[in-house]
Amino acid sequence: MTALIEMVDKVRTRQLIFEAKGGILTDEESRTLEKYLNFSARLCIGVIGDKLCCAWGLIPPSILSERAYLWLFTTEAVDEHKFIFVRNSQRAVQEMLEEWPVITGYCEIGNDRSIRWLRWLGAVFFDPQGKFLPFEIRKKNG
């Protein structure tokens, strides 16, 4: 089965996430998704066959920043094809780290699928802040 990670626009990202959620988003989920889509400098999806595994975006605080905030949406398809998905995700993150040497974000405590994915990508986690775990992925020198 072929894994594909590709850059997409916000219309396609919104559509895929909406479909993956069974066509139902709460008002809060809709507002949060719109904010993330509008501020993302790069949007990507990961698919295996015709199944959406994940969608993510990177939000830099300014155009000159060497940091970007990562948001991520995952589906159960990640679990079904984790080895293929991890290999392709690691390549995609290495490309992102060329543009933004530090990727930061927060992961909800208890979201084991996302925490596992972030660990595979080299994330370092810090002390919890409320119900979230801050993380950072850094470009390796050399």
Domains of the chain, start order: 3-138 (3.40.630.30)
- Provide φ and ψ at 22, rounded to 5°: 70, 25
Question: pTM value?
Answer: 0.84
Q: Distance between CA atoms of 112 and 107, rounded to whole angstroms?
A: 9
Question: Mean pLDDT lowest for which of 17-26, 53-62, 76-85, 110-119?
Answer: 76-85
- Mean pLDDT score, 101-116: 91
Residue 1 confidence (pLDDT) above 70: no
The share of the chain scoring above pLDDT 90, in percent, equals 58
Positive or negative torsion for Cα 79, 80, 86, 92: negative
Contact 57, 42 (CB under 8 A): yes
Contact 125, 114 (CB under 8 A): no
Tell me the pLDDT tens digit for each residue of 32-54: 999 999 999 999 998 888 788 88
